[in-house]
Amino acid sequence: MIKKIGYCILFLLTINSCAQQGEDSIRLIPEGHQGVVLIIFNQEDGEPKEYQDGKRIYRIPENGILKSQFEPNYGIQKHQYFYVNSEGEKTEIPFVLVNNKEVIKEITPNNIYAYFEKAMGKSFGIDAQGKEYIIEPARTFYVGSLKDIDKEHRELLGFTFKHHKK
């Protein structure tokens, strides 16, 4: 029995050490911004890298699109979201996973949340003249109330709910 416990502990330690650790981040969003936020990585003309207490700082501009000199951030990481007013005061924006009915039931419809975070890898596109171009890695998420989720996402949630009922 002790051998089995020892093997289990060794296995768990091995699995845990295989998980890549990413850098945590703080996303500073202009107070009142609602809608899509896009962080585009590897931009030479982007905002310089900035850290606070070992966490990446992303200062999102008014239009919601941040070009950053940071490389993409992979692995296990924690993000914090804040509205920032003109005096620099921060108000935390909770992040929610709106992927099942039970979570959605607990969300206050008019409160502001960050949700639908997605990572996009480097890819290639072709413009109208047939010239290939690079699409840099990016992360995107939404800020808004649950009632503001656009039609496409409501349909996606509806699809998820319809196909996962038991």
Q: How high is the pLDDT of residue 160?
A: 42
The span from the CA of 39 to the CA of 43, in Å, is 10
Question: Could you tell me if 81 and 57 are in contact, meaning their C-beta atoms sit under 8 angstroms apart?
Answer: no
Buried b / exposed e across 41-67, counting CB within 10 Å, b at 16+? bbeeebbeeeeeeebbbbebeeebebb
**pTM to 2 decimal places:** 0.73
Please identify every stretch of the chain with a pLDDT value under 50, giving residue numbers as ranges: 6-7, 12-13, 15, 17, 152, 159-166
Q: How high is the pLDDT of residue 131?
A: 85
- The tens digit of pLDDT for each residue in 86-128 reads 999 999 999 987 666 666 666 777 789 898 888 888 777 787 8
